[in-house]
Amino acid sequence: MNPAVTAAEHHPLDLRLAQRMRGQQRLRGIFNGLPSPAIVEMCAYAGFDLLIIDNEHGSADLLMTEHQLRAARASGIPALVRCLEHDIPRVLDMGASGLQIPMVASAEHARDLVQRVRYPQPGGGGGRRGSAFSTRAAGYGAFGGSEHTRLSNEAIVLVAMVESPQAIEQAGAIAAVDGIDAVFVGPNDLAHAMGHENRYGDAPVQAAIERALRAVSAQGTCAGALALTPEEEVRYAAWGGRYFATVTTSLITRAFQQAARQGRAELSY
């Protein structure tokens, strides 16, 4: 058995996500806030390009997050974790292929996040991530050392979410920060911040989404947005979007509603 091949196949970090984010192809992801490795596997087998484990609004604890990352790696789907900033070190050490950070407000904020995701480099530079090679991300020591540091700095994806009018105006500057791989518009929080409650389809909110997507795309950075329908994806793609995501609970609830209505209709005969 070739040890190098074995290491590549079984390395906890899925290195494909960085290539996809930095490429040109359209990406279809799915948010999952349900604490279930089985749902993770279903998303992989359904054919999504990436999974976003939602630890901002989901109910998974850190142990379940790690189990979901294992399920993603085993079933072949690259996984980001949307997490709050205080969880960044532990989520990275669990072996996340990337992070999606909510409520990024400015280029300065984005630069600070890059520093927190990257390890320091010899001679200065890099970031300020704390180093421990006993973690899952480093194969519990099997893949530790300078090569783990290099791979992590090069391949871990960082997605900044813009979710306020102020952040929308900063979207291009955030996208220009070295180390930011994508900028993703969060439409619900944006709509609320603009005084439209959850009505992100209102014209002023859509205009703000368009400004952000065009500004990010103009920087050559991957631009993303929540797209719950094919029509939304087509519209956002025309504005420069390339990374689109739906939500597991939305899809599951819709399927349950359809089944419930069908059952009632059949009973009415």
- From the candidates 57, 109, 148, 196, give the one annotated as an active-site residue: 57
Name 127's Cβ contacts closer than 8 Å, sequence gap at least 6: 114, 115, 116, 117, 118, 119, 120, 153
Q: How far apart are CA 4 and CA 2, in angstroms?
A: 5
DSSP character string of 28-45: EEEEE-S--HHHHHHHHH
CB count within 10 Å of CB 101 equals: 24
Unique residue bearing structure tokens 């320091």: 120
- Of 93, 83, 91, whose CA–CA distance to 56 is shortest? 83
Tokens of 168: 């929308």
How far is CA 33 from its chain centroid? 12
Q: How many CA atoms does the CB half-sphere of 207 hold within 13 Å?
A: 5
Unique residue bearing structure tokens 């604890």: 61
Q: Is residue 86 annotated as part of the catalytic site, yes or no? A: no
Alpha helices by DSSP H, 49-123: 62-75, 88-94, 107-117
Name 170's Cβ contacts closer than 8 Å, sequence gap at least 6: 105, 106, 107, 162
Catalytic site residues?
A: 57
